[in-house]
Amino acid sequence: MSTISIEGMEFRAPVGCFEEEKIVHPRFVVDVFIEFDAALPMKSDQLEQTINYQKVYLLIKEIMTQKFNLVERVADAIMISVLNEFGQADKVSCKIKKMHPALGGQMECVAFSAEMTR
């Protein structure tokens, strides 16, 4: 099994339980790890036989434009979309960090991680 990862994708997104968050769009950092059998693309050197990073990024970028209350739901949407779009993906892991959340104190982020298998 092999893994493709896209790490540190930054987005401003209308995600949060408070109406203000849907207006100001807090900053999020998303990491995605996709496990698949890379034996064929490792030998063929053909893009169409692997998981295209750009297509993954554009899929996630589109999801991050949608309004959600919970980062848990965003992670679920990302993982389901990746598995649906890329048939060779066996497992997807996703970590979403909400940067500098307004929780009444100073902190870098809060985060949620999950994984989903086919």
Catalytic site residues? 98
Query: What is the distance between the alpha carbons of residues 15 and 20, in angstroms, rounded to a whole number?
Result: 10
String of DSSP letters for 25-71 = --EEEEEEEEEE--HHHHHH--GGGS--HHHHHHHHHHHTTS-BS-H
- State phi, psi for 24 to the nearest 5 degrees: -85, -15
Both tokens assigned to 23: 């207006």
**Is the distance from CB of 109 to CB of 97 less than 8 angstroms?**
yes
CA terminus-to-terminus distance, the chain: 14
